[in-house]
Every structure is written in structure tokens, then in C-alpha cells.
Amino acid sequence: MQLNSTLILTAPPAHSRAALRFGLPVAHAAYRVGGGPHLFRANMPISVRGGLMALDCVGFDGRGEAGPFCQEVLRECSARGYDGILCDFEGRPMPLLAEIVRTLAGLTQKRGWPLYVTETYGGYADSAKVLISSALSGGSLAQRLAEAAQRYGQGRVALAIERVAEDFYLPSPSGQGQPLSQEELRRLMDERSPSIFFSTELCAHYFTYMSRENGAHFVLFDDAGSIRKKLQVARGLGIRQAVLSYPQIEDLLEDILAG
């Protein structure tokens, strides 16, 4: 492995054992902030221990108290041997989730554990690492990361790699494309045999094509080389930690690590 970055893989229970084969820290995406709030758990293989807890908030109603929930989190970390927490809190900010982040920040800092939070919650815990997504449809990844480093401090920023495969209409006022599965992307490339280019600003490959039905299209996608480039850009700014979703990049991971 020649990368000079510290990589963390997120993996749901069905992928845990496969992700662990690479010898990288794994954040186990088996946990959710449930009603109450209480810690909801998916079934995990008993043999899986160590790594980090990855926690989402899908469907959470925002009601309850932070303290008891955070103690549930700590008990589960102790039972599983976790030594870090990743709060993958998407959607609109909620005061209770902000309080959970603040409380977990204090608890993890006392134990010397890392805490990772999405950018929405980056301002609620000075000790937390803030996850900055690599997924862009415009602008510059280097500028995006530099601005985040200036805002939060270089040592607090971690790159969240999101493997992109999107088809945009041209023009695209909203900047939102149609997500493509890897199979759909391959089929489109086989059908169109396009000339493929690389955007140094977005650190992603792209091509264009014309459709009789709806005109010009712009397709943006990642491969192992573009993901390595994203990591290189981050390292150039002093950002050496990155989080990758194992199910998204399992077919690329060996090439990413070899680069």
C-alpha cells in the first residue's frame, strides 16, 4: 500500500467481513438514532469486533434527550470494542442531534477516540473531524477543501469520498444529475463509445453525448484513478484522513490502495 492517507471504510453488516480483509479501520454502519431516542442496531456477526461505530439518523423525529442515548452508544462501543464514532447525520439539522454530537464529542475526547461528523454538525463540536464530501457538480474540489480547512482547521477536516456516476442534462440549472448504477454507466459507454476527459477541478472523468429525445448530456463518473486524485488533492492541502463507503468502491479498492 503506497497511499500516504489514513483511510476508513464504512460497511454495513453484510459487507463487514469483506471490508475487514484489507486491514483498514472499518466503521460499522449497523446503527441508527431511533425513537426515544434509543440506539437501534442491525444484526452484526458476533465475531466482528473493533473499529468504529457508524451511526445514521434516518427517520428520526428529533425528540428526546441526548444524555441517556449517548450512554447507550458508549455501552455498545464497549461491548464491541469500538474506539471511534462516525455520525452520518444527513438532512436538515436537528437541535437534539446537535446536542448528541456535543455530548459525544466530550465523551470521545476523554477516551482519546476520534469522532467524525457531517458538515452540517461541524460547528457543534470543536474536537470532531468534519467530513467534507468529494461529490461536486461544479467548482473545484481543491477550493472546497481549502475553504473547509480554513473554516474548521486543517487537522479537523476529513475527505468523505463519494463515488460519482451521474448523467446531467445540458444546460443543468439545478446542478442535479440522474444517478447511474455502474451497470447503467457501462452500458451507456458501450452504446456511445464516447471520448472521455478528466476534470482537474472536479477530480472526475466525464464525457458528453447527444440524445434525440432530450438533447445534450454530460456524464460525470469516478474510477480508481480519479479517487486516487481526490486523495492526492486532499493530501496536498494537509488533509490525510478519508472515509470511503466499501459497497461503493469494493471493485476499485485494490487499485486505489495500489496507486
Residue 56 in this model has a pLDDT that exceeds 60:
yes
- Assigned CATH class of 6-163+222-258: alpha beta
Residues 240-245, mean pLDDT to the nearest whole number: 97
| C-alpha grid cell, residue 153 | 482547521
C-beta of residue 243 within 8 angstroms of C-beta of residue 161: yes
247 vs 4, residue with greater confidence: 247
Residue 2 in this model has a pLDDT that exceeds 70:
no
Q: Give the model's pLDDT for residue 1.
A: 41
Give percent above pLDDT 70 in the chain.
Answer: 99
**DSSP state for residue 195 in the 8-state scheme:** -
Distance CA 244, CA 89 (A): 16
Residue 148 in this model has a pLDDT that exceeds 80:
yes
The pTM of this model reads 0.94
Distance CA 164, CA 167 (A): 10
Q: Give the model's pLDDT for residue 254.
A: 96
Q: Give the model's pLDDT for residue 27.
A: 98
Q: What angle do CA 79, 55, 117 make, to 5 degrees?
A: 120
Distance CA 161, CA 135 (A): 7
Q: Which CATH architecture has domain 164-221?
A: Roll (3.10)
Give percent above pLDDT 90 in the chain.
Answer: 90
**DSSP state for residue 212 in the 8-state scheme:** T
> In the predicted model, what is the mean pLDDT of the chain?
95
Domain positions in the chain: 6-163+222-258, 164-221
Going by pLDDT thresholds of 50, 70 and 90, the confidence category of residue 3 is: low
Distance CA 109, CA 191 (A): 53
**DSSP state for residue 155 in the 8-state scheme:** G
